[in-house]
């Protein structure tokens, strides 16, 4: 039985993943699975830099505009849905391209993610209201009571992580840390990991140009339409939070755009740090298409019958 391959194209925002993924998928005669935790939401089009209509027409993409910001979604749900989609695609193709910048989503598909229960929306809403009324210190105290192990290893300045741990701990009666086994799951397909990078000054210039292009395309109007739903978890995202602050007269529009650029550069650094942990990744520039194809074909030939 021939080996099927998942070809992962990862890298920081604005490095050129989408365009290269389209070219790779066309060469390989296959389709693309998006691994972007924000492009999955249909209401967030401009601010998440979804592929253009031309790119979507050239190669079929999956998990773009897949959910609403009003629906709960997570890496564990993505893992389940992406594996089902890949199983379907592997009946027609020998390889599938996965492209995106969400390291947790990619790791969920490659290694698996712990089976953490789905949170009751009522528990989530109650804890969020406690955070808004009583502050982060209150949440830290609750976490120390319910899960001292997780308290001692998590980022205590990150309310999202603390809220997640409290949601699971309160709903199940078990410490959140007890669900974090870290066990890798086996997969029945091969994985070829590709990373894209470029010199920092060039990447920063591309980020700045992308933000300017988003503003020209209508990002301000998109964020205004979403402002009534600003408490939605999906909208806790660079490009939206800064403009929410502008709408609330906390800064000027020029300041908001400048902050979007700065925060996006910081996000790109975090993405690279995450992806460079995976030693099996082969790194290229976005114009190294021929070298990438050679590597992919050579890796796939290794498992061909002699």
Q: What is the pLDDT of residue 186?
A: 86
Percent pLDDT > 70 in the chain is 97
Q: Which whole number is the average pLDDT over 37-54?
A: 97
The pLDDT confidence band at residue 305, using thresholds 50, 70 and 90, is: low
Decide: 187 and 161 in contact? Cβ < 8 Å.
Answer: no
- Does residue 42 have a pLDDT over 80? yes
132 burial class (0-12, 13-18, 19+ CB within 10 angstroms)? exposed
* Structure confidence by residue, pLDDT tens digits, 125-141: 889 899 999 999 999 99
Residue 16 DSSP label = S
5, 263 Cβ separation under 8 angstroms: no
- What pLDDT does residue 113 have? 78
CA dist., res. 109 & res. 75, Å (int): 9
d(CA 240, CA 257): 10
Domains in the chain: ranges and CATH? 5-114+183-301 (3.40.50.300), 121-179 (1.10.20.140)
Least confident piece of the model among 33-42, 93-102, 152-161, 250-259: 152-161
- At 194 the pLDDT is 98
CA geometry: angle at 227 spanning 223 and 231, to 5°?
A: 120
Region 146-173: mean pLDDT is 89
pTM score: 0.83
User: pLDDT by residue (tens digit) across 99-110?
Assistant: 999 998 999 999
Mean pLDDT of 224-251: 95
Backbone angles phi, psi at 288, to 5 degrees: -90, 45
CA distance to 124, 131, 170, 185, per residue, from 147 (Å): 17, 17, 10, 26
Nearest residue to 239 (alpha-carbon basis) of 270, 212, 204, 264: 264
CA distance 22 to 250: 40
Q: What pLDDT is attached to residue 2?
A: 63
| 1 pLDDT higher than 80 | no
* Nearest-angstrom CA–CA distance, 168 and 149: 14
2-20 pLDDT, tens digit per residue, is 689 999 999 999 999 999 9
């Amino acid at each position: 039985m021939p080996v099927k391959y998942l070809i992962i194209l990862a890298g920081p925002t604005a490095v050129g993943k989408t365009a290269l993924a389209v070219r790779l998928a066309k060469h390989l005669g296959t389709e693309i699975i998006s691994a972007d935790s924000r492009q999955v939401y249909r209401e967030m089009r401009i601010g998440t830099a979804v592929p253009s209509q031309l790119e979507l027409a050239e190669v079929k993409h999956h998990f773009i505009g897949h959910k609403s910001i009003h629906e709960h979604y997570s890496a564990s749900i993505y893992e389940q849905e992406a594996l089902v989609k890949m199983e379907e695609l592997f009946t027609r193709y020998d390889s599938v391209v996965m492209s995106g910048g969400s390291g947790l989503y990619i790791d969920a598909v490659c290694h698996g993610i712990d089976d953490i229960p789905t949170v009751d929306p009522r528990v989530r809403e109650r804890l969020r209201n406690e955070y808004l009324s009583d502050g982060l210190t209150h949440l830290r105290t609750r976490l120390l009571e319910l899960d001292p192990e997780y308290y001692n290893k998590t980022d205590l300045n990150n309310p999202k992580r603390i809220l997640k741990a409290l949601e699971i701990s309160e709903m199940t009666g078990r410490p959140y840390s007890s669900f974090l086994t870290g066990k890798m799951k086996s997969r029945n397909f091969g994985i070829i990991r590709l990373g894209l990078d470029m010199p920092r000054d060039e990447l920063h210039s591309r980020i700045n140009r992308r933000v300017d292009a988003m503003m020209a395309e209508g990002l301000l109007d998109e964020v205004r339409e979403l402002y009534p739903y600003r408490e939605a978890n999906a909208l806790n995202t660079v490009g939206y939070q800064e403009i929410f602050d502008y709408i609330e007269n906390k800064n000027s529009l020029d300041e908001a755009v400048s902050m979007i650029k700065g925060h996006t550069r910081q996000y790109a650094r975090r993405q690279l740090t995450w992806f460079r942990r995976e030693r099996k990744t082969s790194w290229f520039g976005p114009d190294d298409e021929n070298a990438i194809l050679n590597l992919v074909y050579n890796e796939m030939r290794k498992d061909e019958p002699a």
